[in-house]
Amino acid sequence: MRYPICHSAEYDERGAPTMNRATPSIVRDIMSRDCYRVSPNASITTLAKGLALHRLPGAPVVDESDRLIGFISEQDVMGRVLDSIYHDDEAPLVKEMMRHEVLSVSPNKSITDLAQEMLGPKPKVYPVVEQQRLIGIVTRRDILVALLAIRRH
């Protein structure tokens, strides 16, 4: 299954972010919808290719009903992919390596509140969850672009 990464921010001729709607205030305003996600039964190699293709530092793991059940980062898989190259091992499945404790965010969370939380060593990508289902992701870059738009107004 392929999911495009759709960023809500656009850029003008100077490279400055422009928002195509009112000044964003909550995560729902800036999150990427229909994002890349992975099945727990996917191989780590498949995941690594997806992360590279979509230029993501990690991906939510979802079940058949799109319920968020885990998260796996590129850092989690780099060592295993490297090992499989040197030892010609079969790559493990995502479910064998994913983190079950996932920091997620509500679509109604304030952008400035989330920005404060992201100042520390928190994830670079937050799954956006509503009624236990994944509805999008928000990245540090999305937050930065939104903060620039807020600052301008």
pLDDT number for residue 128: 97
pLDDT number for residue 76: 87
pLDDT number for residue 150: 86
Where do the domains of the chain lie? 9-152
pLDDT number for residue 18: 52
pLDDT number for residue 121: 77
Q: Which residues of the chain have pLDDT under 70?
A: 1-21, 153
Q: Which CATH superfamily is domain 9-152 in?
A: CBS-domain (3.10.580.10)
pLDDT number for residue 14: 46
> Global pTM?
0.79
- Say which residue the tokens 């799954």 belong to: 127
Please give, one letter per residue, the 3-state secondary structure of the chain.
CCCCCCCCEEECCCCCEEECCCCCCEHHHCCECCCCCECCCCEHHHHHHHHHHHCCCEEEEECCCCEEEEEEEHHHHHHHHHHHHHHCCCCCEHHHCCECCCCCECCCCEHHHHHHHCCCCCCCEEEEEECCEEEEEEEHHHHHHHHHHHHHC
pLDDT number for residue 17: 47
pLDDT number for residue 21: 55
